[in-house]
Amino acid sequence: MGKYNVQKKQVLDCIMALVEQGFVQGTGGNVSLLLQGGSAVAVTPSQREYATMTPDDICVVDLDLRPLEEAGAAPSMETAMHLAIYRSRPDAGAIVHTHQIFASVFSLINEPIPALFDEVAGAIGPKVEIVPYALSGSKELVDNVVSKLGNRANCYILQNHGALSLGRDLDHARRNAELLEKAAQVYYYALTTGRAVSVLPQEVQDLMSLIMADRQDEEIKRRR
């Protein structure tokens, strides 16, 4: 039994759940899990159909993209982006990159999603920012993503691309993607009415930001 078999199965289970939800299709999107000690990640492979993927296809690489196990494919072309997020956000233990429909709508109209519901804002942040467009797998995209991480949100929309959701583990990262899709779907329908959209009061947004930051700080302390 391989050293990382359990974690590789967790990554596979996560991406398959996202497939069932329609959040990723074909070979699009990717999932990663920071491994114990924070010195490596398990990540989905590049250009491999999810329908036929097995745990052996999940790649394990160190923080310099060096493979730690032999895999059936190369790691996702977005692995450098995942690694940059882990370096910048020590609270993050897992990342899912999805092409979910309603969040993708806002990636096309370049419209951030405001704070609409307290349970959503308290989990993913008061505002879902747009990361400026760059080619998939490019250093420019990595730099663009990193430039937005300082707001400590758990979800971001990639312009003309898709979405990123962070979490302390895979379950939380996938749950945050679900909350993002709820907010995006409701906001989309609210905008179609042509009426003003009510957002949470600023004092509530500030409180949610503080609560979320406290949880993140506790997670960072736990890992040290």
pLDDT in tens, 154-169: 999 999 999 999 999 9
Task: Please count the structural domains in the chain.
Answer: 1
pLDDT of residue 181: 98
Instruction: Indicate if the pLDDT at residue 1 is higher than 80.
Output: no
CATH, residue 56 = 3.40.225.10
Please state, in angstroms and as integers, the Cα–Cα distance from residue 57 to each residue in 69, 102, 118, following that order. Answer: 10, 29, 39
Average pLDDT of the residues of the chain: 95
* 93-210-185 Cα angle (round to 5): 70
Active site residues: 78
pLDDT of residue 140: 98
Task: Say how far apart CA 197 and CA 186 lie, in whole Å.
Answer: 10
Instruction: Indicate if the pLDDT at residue 103 is higher than 80.
Output: yes
pLDDT in tens, 49-85: 888 899 999 999 999 999 998 777 899 999 999 999 9
Task: Say how far apart CA 155 and CA 104 lie, in whole Å.
Answer: 13
Q: What is the 3-state secondary structure (H, E, C) of the chain?
A: CCCCHHHHHHHHHHHHHHHHCCCCCCCCCEEEEECCCCCEEEECECCCCHHHCCHHHCEEEECCCCECCCCCCCECCCHHHHHHHHHHCCCCCEEEEECCHHHHHHHHHCCCECCCCHHHHHHHCCCEEEECCCCCCCHHHHHHHHHHHHHCCCEEEECCCEEEEEECCHHHHHHHHHHHHHHHHHHHHHHHCCCCCCCCCHHHHHHHHHHHHHHHHHHHHHHC
Task: Say how far apart CA 67 and CA 97 lie, in whole Å.
Answer: 21
The amino acid at residue 188 is: Y
What distance lies between CA 62 and its chain's CA centroid?
19
- Structural domain that includes position 88: 5-223
More confident residue, 73 or 43: 43
